[in-house]
Structure formats: C-alpha cells, structure tokens
A and B are shown apart, each in its own frame.
Chain A
C-alpha cells in the first residue's frame, strides 16, 4: 500500500506510517528508573515488616542475592551475544542464498528459512538440547558441548532464519535501478552485491536486526526450562533456598523483569531513533 492510485482531497485512508514510537509523548528518562526500583524493593517490605525477627526482611534478602542474580543475567547476555553472532553469520549466508541465481540454492535457502522461522523458539531449543551430542570429536580431539553452548546453538537457529529474511527483505527493497546501473557499468554480480547493494542494505537492516537482538535477549530465559543456570534458574534456586517464602516471589520476579527492561528498553528506543533517521522520505 505504497501510493494512492489517484490524487484526491478526501482519501479513504492515508498512507500508513511505519510503526514507531514517535507518537509517544511519554518518554522514560533515566531518573524514572529510581522510583520503579524503589517501589520494587520496598513495597513488599512494608507489608511484611512484622514477619518476625528470625527472617531477614525482603529487601535484605534481595540485596544479599543481587550479585548472584546479576551474574546470572550477565550469563544471559553472553548467550544472547554469542547466539546473535552465530545466527547473523549463518543467516546472512542463508539470506544471500535466497537471492542466489541458482534455483536450487534459492529453494533450499527458502525452505530452511521458512522451516526455522515458523517453529516455536522453545521447540527449537529442545531440538538442540536433545539432539546434539554432549561432545563432538573433530580429528581426534574431543570437544565437550556443555548445556549452555547447546542452548546457544538452539537459540541461534531461529535468529538465523530471521536474519535471512531481513537480508532478503533489504536486498529486495532496493530499487532495481541500482542493479541495472551497476550492470551497465560492467560490474560483475559479486561486485554489484558487495560494493553497491549490501552497503546500502546495512542501513535498512540495522533497525530490524536490533529488534531481533532484543527479542533474542528476552528469549534467553527459555534456557532455564532446559536447565541452563541463567538468571531465571538462579532465581528459582534462590527462592527455594530461602525456604519458599511467598512474600519473596513478587520482589524477585519483579527484579528479573526490571533487569531485562533496563537492558531492552534503551535498545528499543535506539531502534526507533535509527528507524526515524534512516527513514526514506518519499
């Protein structure tokens, strides 16, 4: 729905603007974090202040475990960065495969992309956890595959498929005149792709790629279901080691939510900013 077919003063519908947050007149500023943090840390403390002298207060408990949870969260970030790296490398190759001149390569890349894009992340994670061996042997050297590495591979599968679609979409979104102009200047296909098409695509690919990264970061908690000791697993363990006190549940889960929010929200805002900057004015 790019252009209206005819000019009129009273169109049925206006052209659609891309989804972006520019209509938000409420922007989170840095200082907003503090009231939220204070609220999360203290609201349960007041309610359970008279829980008895034997138990430490909710706030103290949370502070005591905070370093461990933060370490767990860093592990999440490590998994997300690794999975993004692997997924981007393989996905970019797959995406280029989707625009290959050979029909077979194209079909194969298309099938792989669709297959991994249409399966749930959690199922793919199970797929990787159960079907990958616990160690691989390459020329006599045994390389162990720990759980977290398998989870990283499992998470990079859907990332790969999504990156492949992003690459294909970006290449297709360029006007065909670019290809024709390059051809008339006697560039080979490889040269055209590397020197003319892809550099222009990077700008278009960056916002969706960052979006994908933030989705991936939020998906790393899935690894807790398959037993990798990341922040969610640690939270569960901390809660049970504190004796399963029900008043701890809300503050601890809120804390995990807050960690992810603090990491993903700036990325989301920056993505919106980039989208606006890179928007093609037609």
Chain B
C-alpha cells in the first residue's frame, strides 16, 4: 500500500499533479473523515426526510382542516426559500435561543452542534419535497381499496401504515429517487456552518497545498461516485418492489 501512496508523491515530483490526500497520511485522514461525514450527514438526512415525508403525507389526509393547512404552509415555506438561509436561520437564530450545556472541561457548548443543525435543516428542506412526492403516491391508491380496509375494521393509521403507504411507496419511488439525489448534493451546504464534510475538508487541503484544480476535480468525481451509488441502490430497490403486471 505504501508503494501505491509513494507513487503519487512521485507523480507530484515528476508531473506536478499534486494529490496530497493520497500520499500524505495527515491529509488522507482528513479526507477520509470528510468522506464519512458526508455519508453520515446524507444517511441521517435521507432517513429523517423520508420519515417527514411519510408523516406529512399522512397528516395531509387528516380530516382536521388546520392540520392540513399547517402541513401545506410548512411545504410552501420550505420549498420557496433558499436552503442556505434556512440553515443559517436554524443554526444562528434558533441555535442562539437554545440553552447552553456545560461541557466536561468546564466550558459551555451549545445544546446542538453544527452537524445536528445541518441535519435538521436539510431534513426539513428535503422533507417538504418528500411530503409532496408521497402525497401524489397516496392519491394513486384507489378509494375502493381504502373502503375495503375500512370494512375490515382497520383504523385510519392502520390503513395508512399497512395498505396505503406500501402501495404509494412504489409509485413514489422514481420521484423520491430524484429528490434524494438532490439531497446528497445539498449536503455540501453544511460547509457554510463548518460541518467538516467533504467540501470543507477539501477546502482545508487546498488552502494548505494550493492545489485547487486537483481537489476540485477529485471532489466532482467523489460526488459523482456517491450519487452513482445512491442511484444504483435506489434502482435495485425499485426493481425489487415492482408490482407484477402494473406499469410498463
């Protein structure tokens, strides 16, 4: 492995293509940490935004007028304002209102750190789109199916959980796929509130080594790779969840 790393140092010496995140152990660790941080942030946001989408779509079918109105208001506000400003709003405005907690070494730290706020704001942002996506799936479930379930004594929550959602999910998957890809790309915004994710670490490295071009190209390829994995996984999932005889 060392020979492999050293080859890149050799590459730098001979051609000037500087990739310190491969041959330099310190930069390598930084980059790997950043990569894992991006994956951690993405998975957290994917999970919570999907939950928000499912719960929101359920609440939108609520018989209470104000529940529906609040959900719709949430969707409109989060869809029509910049995610970066939302993140600043959460991190600076709401974060400063929360109480501080004492740390082990006598200092004070905010209750929620930058990672938590990034995860919260991005989940709410992507969640607003997911509610819409799930809603269009829920609308595709025929009324007769719901009525049949009602006749069998299912409660409203049971109908949604056991009947509507499994069917709706299959219809929503292509659009959901699209939105989740966007979400992974949006995690770069966490850079603005100093979450040490991939863009942030790359920025550190190019500040130290003045190799902006190489780092940029590496970053673009890295995101290409991450998005590729996600799309591949979602397509596999879509295939395995297909309803036989429906569509195509």
Contact = CB atoms under 8 A, between A and B. Distances in A.
A204 to B, nearest CB: 18
Interface in A223-243: 224-225, 232
Interface in A112-160: 115, 118-123, 126-127, 130-131
7 contacts: A15-B140, A19-B136, A118-B228, A214-B80, A253-B85, A254-B93, A264-B80
Interface in A241-282: 246, 249-250, 253-254, 256-257, 260-261, 264-265, 268
Interface string B193-235: 0000001000100000000110010011001100110000000
A15 B86 CA distance: 35
Contacts of B227: 118
A1 B175 CA distance: 13
B85 A268 contact: no
B243 A123 contact: no
Contacts of B132: 19
Interface of B: 68-69, 72-73, 76-77, 79-86, 88-89, 92-94, 96-97, 132-133, 135-137, 139-142, 144-145, 167, 170-171, 175, 181, 185-189, 191-192, 199, 203, 212-213, 216, 219-220, 223-224, 227-228, 243, 245-248
Given A19-B175, A253-B89, A260-B80, 18 more contacts: A1-B171, A13-B140, A14-B140, A15-B140, A17-B139, A17-B140, A26-B68, A122-B188, A122-B189, A122-B199, A123-B220, A131-B213, A222-B189, A232-B85, A254-B89, A257-B86, A260-B82, A268-B80
- Give the interface SS of chain A, mostly helix, strand, loop or mixed: helix
Contact of A257 (B89, B145, B216): B89
A5 B245 contact: yes
A265 B76 contact: yes
Q: For chain B, what secondary structure do more than half of its interface residues adopt (helix, strand, loop), or is it mixed?
A: helix
> What is the interface residue range for chain A against chain B?
35 or more
A16 interface: yes
Interface string A22-51: 011110100000000000000000000000
A29 B203 CA distance: 44
Nearest to B216: A127
